[in-house]
Amino acid sequence: MKERIVSGMRSTGKLHLGHYLGVIDNWVKLQNEYESYFFVADWHALTTKYDKTENLRQDVNDVVIDWLASGIDPEKSTIYVQSLVPEIAELNVYLSMITPQNWVERDPTLKDMAKILRSKGEEGLNSQISYGLMGYPVLMSADIMALNAQKVPVGIDQVAHIEITRDIARRFNNIYKTDFFNEPTPLLNKCSLICGLDGNKMGKSFNNDIKISDSEEVTTKKIMTAITDTNRVRKDDLGNPENCLVAFKYWQIFGSEEEIALTDKECRAAERGCAQCKRELARIINERFAPIREKRRYYEEHPELVREIIQNGSARARGKIQEVVGQVREIIGMY
Ligand code: TRP
Ligand code: SF4
């Protein structure tokens, strides 16, 4: 029997290369080895965007289209939408009862989110931390435990949340004198983190990202703005790739060994200017994403197909989750 994995992403709309390299690429490989469940966390999106729901449906579709285009295969993996499985919310209620308040207050990721919200203070309503946002790690635990998964493939930023999930699972087992729940562990990928075009963390709200769905023209234009060795003002100044904090980093992610070595050499000898270097880099990135973008266009032109994949996957996930939550009701002793 294969081990089961589950992971999700908030419905933030079109995904960027950070999502692709940091998470999705890993899922694509894992789906061959594990019984895999991947879902769009639209309730989690509501924890901070409850007052901006006009694009919610499109955002969910865009995330799923990016997954499908990237190679998540609905024949191998179950793709679903969190809010189409209401039993997750039921499990969230049970877990909320047994989770000590100070466990969620201690959660470092939540502390960061609260800090960001407060820094946007002038936006009024949204700077308040809601009861639902406090419950973020409990809801995430419900997502994972609803499938009684053994492993959770996530980026390093989510590991603290999985720790809480383990604690909650153990506490449930202790309280109800059972060994029903697994204590899930994070499954980290080995990929290098891609920074944004300005050298900071890549993120939609920082305006420094390249989207999976960007056209070749847009990608090239964006790459041309990537920071380079700032000491290199003129083309015949000798360059130093070690000081080239974005463009050369991208080369190291997307180039072949020979391409990286050649870039390094020509940069140091001033045999290549930064504009030419980045044009070349853009070409390589565009080549890598060409098949993904073509597949993406296909799904965009067939929204009924995407809807069907979501409906079928959600029904399948729901069936499995109803079994698990049914057993939980039994274990607790509900009516
Ligand atoms: N919090 C995760 C993120 O922001 C998304 C998420 C929600 C998740 N529920 C999950 C990830 C359960 C793994 C398992 O990326
Ligand atoms: Fe960076 Fe390329 Fe310019 Fe060198 S030539 S500084 S590697 S962009």
pLDDT tens digit sequence for 251-308: 999 999 999 999 999 999 999 999 999 999 999 999 999 999 999 999 999 999 999 9
Q: What does the pLDDT read at residue 279?
A: 97
31 Cα distance to chain centroid: 16
Banded model confidence at residue 107, pLDDT cuts 50, 70, 90:
confident
Split at pLDDT 50, 70, 90, the class of 154 is very high
Structure tokens at 177: 């004198």
Band (pLDDT 50/70/90 cuts) for residue 127 is low
Please give the pLDDT value at position 155: 85
For the CA of 277, the nearest atom of ligand 2: 2
Query: Token pair for residue 132?
Result: 């639902």
Higher-pLDDT residue of 325 and 118 is 325
On the CB side of 86, CA atoms within 13 Å amount to 0
Query: Which long-range contacts link 51-57 to residues 24+ away (Cβ below 8 Å)?
Result: 51/125, 51/126, 55/13, 56/11
Report the pLDDT value the prediction gives residue 303, as an integer from 0 to 100.
96
- Token pair in block for residue 15: 């995904």
- pLDDT tier at 164, thresholds 50, 70, 90: very high
| Dist CA 59 CA 91 (whole Å) | 25
Q: What b/e readout covers 141-156, taking b as 16+ CB neighbours within 10 angstroms?
A: bbbbbbbbbbbbbbbe
Ramachandran angles phi, psi of 76, nearest 5° = -100, -35
User: Which residues, other chains included, contact 215 with Cβ-Cβ below 8 Å and sequence gap of 6+?
Assistant: 293
What percent of the chain has pLDDT above 70?
97
Give the position of tokens 């090239």: 220
125 pLDDT band, cuts 50/70/90, is: low
Distance between Cα 198 and ligand 2 center (Å): 15
Pocket of ligand 2 (CB under 6 A): 228-229, 232, 239, 241, 244, 247-248, 263, 267, 272, 274, 277-278
**Spatial distance between the Cα atoms of 310 and 60, rounded to a whole number of angstroms:** 10
Residue type, 305: L
User: What are the CA-CA distances from residue 320 to residues 43, 97, 145, 243, 278 (Å)?
Assistant: 20, 23, 12, 51, 48
Closest CA to 9 of 279, 1, 22: 22
- pTM for this predicted structure: 0.93
State the pLDDT confidence band at 129, using cuts at 50, 70 and 90: confident
Least confident window among 105-109, 270-274, 320-324: 105-109
Find the ligand nearest to 274 CA.
2
219: pLDDT strictly greater than 90: yes
Model confidence at 115: pLDDT above 90? no
Element (H, E) at 151: strand 151-153
Residue 202 buriedness (CB in 10 A; 0-12 / 13-18 / 19+): buried
Cα distance between residue 177 and residue 183, in whole Å: 15
Give start-end residues of each CATH 1.10.240.10 domain in the chain: 214-295
CA of 139 to the centre of ligand 1 (A): 9
Distance of alpha carbon 224 from alpha carbon 222, whole angstroms: 5
Distance of CA 181 to the CA centre of its chain: 25
Outline which parts of the chain fall under CATH 3.40.50.620: 4-194+303-332
The CATH topology of domain 4-194+303-332 is Rossmann fold (3.40.50)
> Which residue, judged by its Cα, is nearest atom 6 of ligand 1?
8
Atom 3 of ligand 2, nearest CA residue: 274
Handedness of CA 112, 94, 39, 148 (dihedral sign): positive
Res 124: pLDDT: 53
Looking at the structure, give the CATH architecture of the domain made up of residues 214-295: Orthogonal Bundle (1.10)
Nearest to 27 by CA among 99, 76, 80, 100: 76
